[in-house]
Structure 1
Amino acid sequence: MSSTAAHAAAPARPVRSHALRDAATMLRRNLKRARRYPSLTATTVIMPVVMLLLFVYVFGGALGTGIAPVAGSGEAVRYVDYIAPGILLMAVTSGAIATAVAVAVDMTEGTVNRFRTMAISRASVLTGHVVGSLVQTAIGLVAVLGAALACGFRPNATVVEWAAALGVLMLLAFALTWVSAAMGLVAKTVESASNAPMPLTFLPFMGSSIVPPESMPGALRWFAEYQPFTPVNETLRGLLMGTPIGSSGPLALAWSAVLALAGYLWARRKARRAQR
């Protein structure tokens, strides 16, 4: 067979389309799927709300007595005002489960293999998952904030402080979404993907979300003070309630940047291997 005939007989290679357009297509796909199957998204919203109700109305009376008065004010901190920023943080970590499951579904059901035969950007699949998860997380934060306000949460933040608090939450959500996307890529089953991000959802409990680290025993106190979610929580509390932030702000940004970079590199490496 001549080289010309062999070239004609070879299958045509798909032409790569624009990555931005492909990512927008994947975003619409993921949002439509979330709308058709809202149970997982609802679960990630319901869990933080249940935790809020549990700690405010069941444990709040006992735990609230251990919260120190606001420095210089002489007034005791209401427990709902203390815990609400931590619950918002838990709403962000809960969204990681939905991302890992969605990515694992695409991997285990052969969806990614079908995408490989199409003229789309390889990066658009993960980008669609990440941006879609951020949209769902933002909706979840609104729902959890509404529940907190209904429970008596009364922040005194300015518009600028609210914008900064939202920025901190979404930056952390961006970081955790990449980490959970990588977890979904390495998971063998959807069930294991749903369990992999669980440590992320429990770490805020072992920080300053529920009680001050000063009330914890030695080793646990050290862990609570230096784990990633404590500076994020203290930054949120400072922005929303006017408490001192200190070095927590830069630490929160640094931890979020490190987690985002690590998650992105991990997810990109696993995605490339899966798409070979």
Structure 2
Amino acid sequence: MATSYGMVINLERCIGCYACVVACKQCWGTRPGVNYNMMNYVEWGEYPDAHQRYVSTLCNHCDNPPCVSACASQATYKTDEGPVVVDFELCEGCGACVGACPYDHRFLITEDMGTSYEGAPLPCEEKSAQRVNVTEKCTFCYERLTEGLQPMCTVHCPGQCRIFGDVNDPESDISKYIAEKNPVPIEGTSVYYVVPEDMDRSLVPLGLADAVSAQMAAKNEKKEAAPASAEKAPEGVPMAAVAGVVGVAAVAAVGGGVAYKKNKNKQSSTDQSE
């Protein structure tokens, strides 16, 4: 049977230490504000029965990725083993895949994003600093997988919250873990969550079909709420240019944040230090 990579994230063990976020940034040298892994602080219930947890999210590597369908240059594609990756040589930086992702986990890299220290890229940023006008995302560390290694976030998780491997291999660690822990699958994706018994299920990402539906509903609501004047081009400005700006604004505003509900959100320590 063909290899099919997946990841289980055990929320019962996660302490929100951000090791996965930092390890990923160190490995791939992502720009300030670009985190392939995100740490979300959530709360539910009311005093005296109030609860809190950390929910780590990343690209869910969908079975039928909307981002792949949206990519006109075929730069984004799904590998035979399951991870969804980006060919930077083919990427045109149009951002269509960013708007198509219902989980808000794709990042359009522009010239003005800079590096952690202006004019002096960190050693880990030297390679990524050369990438401009392309889309980046989590790839399950596909380059490492081809060398027989684990994703960097999995290796450096001190709580061993992340279990990665071939879900089609009944003898793999992840298959045994799934059989033991019975995690919640994010339907239509390659990611599972071990959810605490008393935790509100809506605090983890929706399945793909529901996430896409929620994304479309949010876009329609925004479109209906937009003032009619927004459709009029300023004098001397082509309507196509206005449409492009409005489209980019919609992508930035809607993204995929509707894919899961958060009561509170703590940004990564790297963002807070900026």
TM-score by length of 1: 0.23
Higher relative contact order (CA 8 A, sep 6+): 2
Q: How does the TM-score come out when normalised to structure 2?
A: 0.23
Higher share of residues assigned strand: 2
Of structures 1 and 2, the larger Rg is shown by: 1
